[in-house]
Amino acid sequence: MAGVYKLEIEESEEDFKQLLRGQKTASAKERIQLLYLLKTKQAETVQAAALLLGRHRGTLQEWLRSYREGGIDGLLKRKARSGRPRAIPDWAEDSLLKRLQQRQGFDGYKAICDWLENALGLAAKYKTVHKLVHYRLQASPKVPRPVSGKQSLQQKEAYKKT
């Protein structure tokens, strides 16, 4: 008979209710909800559970396979994200952040690019460095503007008051 699953669900309904309350992501809740629907017989088949959850039957079959192989932990295990590694690794990011917190700062983002290449041996593009410093680290090169030596403090204070 098509659509009949052969799966022994060991956890109780109360266990599933506790697990549902503890989940932080929607995908984890959906996976626990699938087991809950099958355990409580609200869905007799995987096809019926797919209709209730609004997912494709094949997706639910994958979830049940991962549950069979690894239990609840296997079902909730998240896959490692693939993708290109960062141009500036975490260790370099940490040392750059320390350097940005020092008093002297940099002359600009180009100076940061040069510092990364000379001090850490990393070649990074200007745009990459700008995105890292400005958006991710929420910092700036922090270079104080030059102040004239002829400037009078009294005149400066008087100007601020008016």
Residue 88 CB contacts under 8 Å (≥ 6 apart), including other chains: 96, 116, 122, 124, 128, 129, 132
pTM, entire model: 0.53
pLDDT digits (tens, 9 = 90+) for 3-26: 556 778 888 889 889 988 998 999
Query: What value does the CA radius of gyration of the chain take, rounded to a whole number of Å?
Result: 29
Supply 114's token pair: 């040069």
Q: What is the dihedral sign for C-alpha 17, 19, 25, 27?
A: negative
pLDDT digits (tens, 9 = 90+) for 37-70: 999 999 989 999 999 999 999 999 999 999 999 9
